[in-house]
Chain A
Amino acid sequence: MIGKDKIIEILKKAVSRSKADQTEILVMGGKSYLTGFANNYIHRNVGNEDYTINIRLAFGKRIGSATVHGFSEEIIEKALKDAELIAENQKENPDFVSFAKPSKEVRQFDEKALYSENTANCDAECRAKIAKEVVDASKKLGLNSSGTVETETDEIAIVNSLGVEKYCVRTVASIKNIAMAADSSGYSKSTAVDITKINVEEIIKESTDLALSGRGPISIEPGKYEVILTPYAVAEFISHILYLSLNARAVNEGSSFLIGNFGKRILGDNITMYDDGLSEETIPLPFDFEGVDKKRVVFFENGVAKDVVYDTLTAYKEGRESTGHSLPQPSPYSPYPMNFVIEGGNSSPEEMISNVKRGLFVQRFWYTNPMDPKNAVITGMTRDGLFLIENGKITKPVMNMRFTESVISALNNVIELSKTKKIIYDMASVTVPYLRVKDFTFTGKTEF
């Protein structure tokens, strides 16, 4: 780690050297490690140390950007010169108002929630031992395991010429297993700030139970089914609306289904969803990549469309405050909800299954993509655990199927939500419950 004092000092010095009207410097980086296993042994084991420095300069409304890897005064100097050259050749961006101004209100947040020594100090041997625990358990059951043990320790710092000065250091750890038999597989993954808070035994149990009970799947015909979607399946299905619908850029570009619907109930009244970077229900991040403190943004409250997330470009243009949801700029995906939550209900997953007369239990979706962005129609496959539910009980494993379904329709058809929620993390944090959804549309099937 380079450390807060050194990073801030170097960034402030660089900002003071800049000739631009406004200057913003973002540093992100640190150490990341991944121990990957397949066929019950570690086949890939990698480590990396890298820092990315993003510089944005504004000369009036002309913006130049440069990115360099590494961390030294010399490399920042090179990036400043590159950004100046770029800005000189740039046209004015009429939408640009200003880089981030210091936040007026800062929500209280204990930065200790971001960092764990246990994760930062988990070395190659520590990761290999976790991998060994997983593969040994799979071997004992006659299963084949594939998965990962990942840790990252990142420093994030932003300094700009308007007085923004932010720094944090965060850790994230994930452990994943896919247990496989000849004709079945089971998936489990958990993510936490502190690697020792991840229950490896639970990961082994969830993945191996599914693989063992999934053997000998039957083929059933596509059509409409009532489904129990686990948090893995819910996250994969709905995460497309994070970039297609729930941000100001999507509203401006016409792809969001919230356009014309703010204040209207367009989802089921049991659906409340929001983004909260400070919530410990997610992998927290207290400020965005422009240095704006994260605000809690409610997208839907009891099905009524409320708001979307903003970065400075989209917010200042409308004369409002950024909600603190910028990605590293420039980015075609910014603003973006990084800490998304769907509120849970009152049921347990077991109760939800017991309420299904005939339907499907879906552990996971895979390779999902939008077919119709405006109506949030998504297609994808089931994976690593699909089961028939009959009269309230899981009865038979089923071969994988393709679904094609609108997120809007599905979130109007939710009959039950679980109290339990799970953090699904892949760059961004999505925290969601189990959902029981009626009339979910499957449009095809495959051979396994």
Chain B
Amino acid sequence: MRDIIESALLSAKRAGATYADVRILEREVEEISTKNGSVDALKRSFTKGLGVRVIANGAWGFASSFRLTADEAEKVAEEAVLIAKASSLTKIEDVSLAEVEIFQDTVHQKVEIDPFSVPISEKISVLLESDKIMNIPGVIVRKGNMYFSKEWKTFASTEGAYIEQERIVSGAGISAIATNGKELQIRSYPSSFGGDYQRKGFELVKSADFLKNAERVAKEAVALLSAKPCPSGIMDIVLGGSQLALQVHESAGHPTELDRVLGEEASFAGMSFLTPDKLGKFRYGSDIVNITADATIPEALGGFAYDDEGVKAKRIYLVKNGIFVGYLNSRETAKKLKLEPMGAMRAQSWSFMPIIRMTSINLEPGDKTLDELIAGIDRGIYMDTNKSWSIDQNRLNFQFGTEIGWEIKNGKIQDMVKNPTYTGITYEFWRSCDGIANKDFWHVWGVPNCGKGEPQQVMQVSHGVSPARFRNVKVGVLK
């Protein structure tokens, strides 16, 4: 391994790079999905390769290859330098990186049960048992899925960094789709779009207790078909954890990515309303809104020991007492705004150049119980589990739909409602937050499929949240 890395770094320098780093990644994945009583897909994937990132002529270049040999590493580094030199054709100023502490380290990840040691038959049986329980009249599609991955990544740079990290991830979920011929309703557990994901072993699946939740999931999907439609109007809402995680993701995570803010994602994902002139001044939310970026949370999907620039994981505030105070950054963007690098650069795999990604972006817990949040509402809706999401390219106007809702009247949960939706402007919404549930209700939800960048990269991130209450929200778009 070291000879491949040395070959890449030496070759980059020889070709004219003023900075180079190399990442070698090896990853094994096992995925299982079941549908309507049988195993729909059972697949193992394996990938390994190297990516070399360089600065030459003051501009970036990146090349990668699946051939892991010293000769190939040399060629890849040379190609990265050629690409960087071509980039410099349009250069306005030289790329410059903020100084960081240089580490040599090896980090293993402890899990209780190595997911690759558990027989596939045991995994299948959990999903098929749940499937059987969900097989009730009205349910047309029952689905279950599990995901396990194990990776070993080595990062080295011409500055002397040499970091090896292990990463083990488990994820699982079930869902039931019911129909009456006219409409479809879905319920998922523990969250939608594949369930919950964490840096844990098979213990994640054991603790999720799918068999206990499968019947409720199926019954709720069927019950939604005859539930009344979510009312429309301006009213108070309480968002459950799994929906609030996505709200944090879209309206706090993405707009604080400094590459977006500086226009580097403008041709795809867009930019951000949180421009540098607002840093430290702008009222993003009410006084009780505190949002952190924390890659140090044990087991959080968005956590790690070092990012893909070798920066050690940190916890920083993005929003403190309602004021916007921080960005997710890289060494390059931090230098531009004279900020401290906070370690948010990650790449999907060896074949991608790292970009700024969310770590674990968390709404810090408040001091209420869920009952207290609901008790404070005369007329409103409790909504949970994301079904649909959309937000403008500057992250202001959003519209979300959830799988399920319940009316709240006079401080009490009442009837189930279907197709709940709510919409708003990000800062107005967060300013209307007047209650956040306490740490007993706090959970770090894994989001395994955050898309960003060109070429597009899919990243595993997470969001620690507890349910929260928002006042005077526009509810109901669908008739």
Interface residues of A (CB under 8 A from B): 32, 34-51, 63-71, 78-79, 82-83, 85-87, 89-95, 123-125, 127-129, 131-132, 135, 144, 146-148, 150, 176-178, 180, 253-255, 260, 329-332, 366-375, 377, 379-381, 383, 400, 402, 404, 443-448
Contact = CB atoms under 8 A, between A and B. Distances in A.
A48 B23 CA distance: 14
Nearest to B119: A89
A110 to B, nearest CB: 30
Given A43-B60, A63-B42, A254-B141, A374 B66 contact: no
B423 A443 contact: yes
A38 to B, nearest CB: 5
11 contacts: A42-B86, A50-B64, A68-B46, A70-B48, A128-B86, A255-B184, A330-B41, A330-B42, A332-B40, A443-B399, A444-B399
B263 A68 contact: no
Contacts, number: 258
B44 A86 contact: yes
B264 A45 contact: no
A50 B397 contact: no
A438 B194 CA distance: 38
A93 B40 CA distance: 7
- Most chain A Cβ neighbours within 10 Å, of B45, B119, B140: B45
A369 B89 contact: no
Interface stretch (B212-220, B301-309, B373-381, B387-395): B387-395
A328 to B, nearest CB: 11
Contacts of B45: 66-68
Interface stretch (B99-107, B120-128, B165-173, B281-289): B120-128
Nearest to A71: B66
B49 A371 contact: no
B396 interface: yes
Contact of A92 (B38, B47, B62, B352): B38
A371 B477 contact: yes
Contacts of A128: 86-87, 89-90
Interface stretch (B76-84, B203-211, B357-365): B76-84
B401 interface: yes
B477 A443 contact: yes
A369 B388 contact: yes
B266 A178 contact: yes
B110 interface: no
Contacts of A260: 181
- Most chain A Cβ neighbours within 10 Å, of B120, B177, B399: B399
B90 A37 contact: yes
A372 B399 CA distance: 13
- Most chain A Cβ neighbours within 10 Å, of B66, B388, B396, B477: B66
A91 B65 contact: no
A206 to B, nearest CB: 14
Contacts of B179: 254, 374
B267 interface: yes
Contacts of B92: 39-41
A39 B352 contact: no
Nearest to B89: A128
Contact of B267 (A36, A49, A79, A330): A36
Nearest to A92: B38
Nearest to B63: A47
Nearest to A131: B90
Contacts of A255: 184
Given A45-B83, A50-B65, A371-B478, 14 more contacts: A34-B454, A42-B87, A42-B89, A45-B62, A46-B353, A47-B79, A48-B65, A86-B42, A89-B120, A125-B89, A127-B86, A128-B90, A131-B90, A332-B40
- Most chain A Cβ neighbours within 10 Å, of B83, B264, B425: B83
A94 to B, nearest CB: 6
Interface of B: 33, 38-49, 59-67, 79-80, 82-92, 119-121, 124, 128, 140-141, 177, 179, 181-184, 262-267, 270, 273, 351-353, 355, 388-394, 396-397, 399, 401, 419, 421, 423, 425, 454-455, 477-478
A64 B31 CA distance: 11
Contact of B399 (A43, A330, A402): A402
4 A-B pairs with the lowest CB-CB distances in the bound complex, closest first: A330-B41, A124-B86, A146-B267, A446-B397
Contact of A447 (B355, B389, B425): B425
A404 B474 CA distance: 15
A146 B38 CA distance: 47
B177 A254 contact: yes
B394 A448 contact: yes
A368 B46 CA distance: 33
Nearest to B66: A70
B267 A178 contact: yes
Given A176-B267, A254-B184, A446 B394 contact: yes
A173 B195 CA distance: 36
B184 A374 contact: yes
B49 A69 contact: yes
Contacts of A448: 394, 396
Nearest to B122: A89
Contact of B396 (A85, A375, A447): A447
A40 B63 CA distance: 22
B90 A372 contact: no
Nearest to A43: B264
A195 B24 CA distance: 32
A123 to B, nearest CB: 8
Contact of A125 (B49, B86, B351, B352): B86
A133 B92 CA distance: 15
A176 B183 CA distance: 39
Contact of B65 (A49, A66, A380, A402): A49
Contact of A69 (B39, B46, B84): B46
Contacts of B86: 35, 42, 45, 123-125, 127-128
A95 B36 CA distance: 11
Given A49-B65, A94-B38, A377-B478, A66 B397 contact: no
B390 A44 contact: no
Contacts of B80: 47
A418 B119 CA distance: 58
A235 B266 CA distance: 20
B397 A444 contact: yes
A38 B83 contact: no
Contacts of A49: 64-66
A373 B185 CA distance: 10
A443 B397 CA distance: 11
Contacts of B60: 42-45
Contacts of B353: 44, 46
A51 B38 CA distance: 30
A145 B147 CA distance: 40
A259 to B, nearest CB: 8
A65 B64 contact: no
B351 A253 contact: no
B42 A64 contact: yes
A45 B79 CA distance: 11
A254 B225 CA distance: 14
A144 B263 contact: yes
A374 B183 contact: yes
Contacts of A176: 267
Contact of A38 (B183, B267, B389): B267
B397 A146 contact: no
Given A147-B267, A176-B267, A47 B391 contact: no
Contacts of A66: 43-46
A369 B66 contact: no
Nearest to B93: A41
A37 to B, nearest CB: 7
Nearest to A29: B66
Contacts of B262: 39
Given A46-B83, A83-B44, A253-B177, A91 B124 contact: yes
B38 A148 contact: no
Contacts of A43: 60, 87, 264
B44 A132 contact: no
Contact of B397 (A51, A178, A331, A402): A402
Nearest to A49: B65
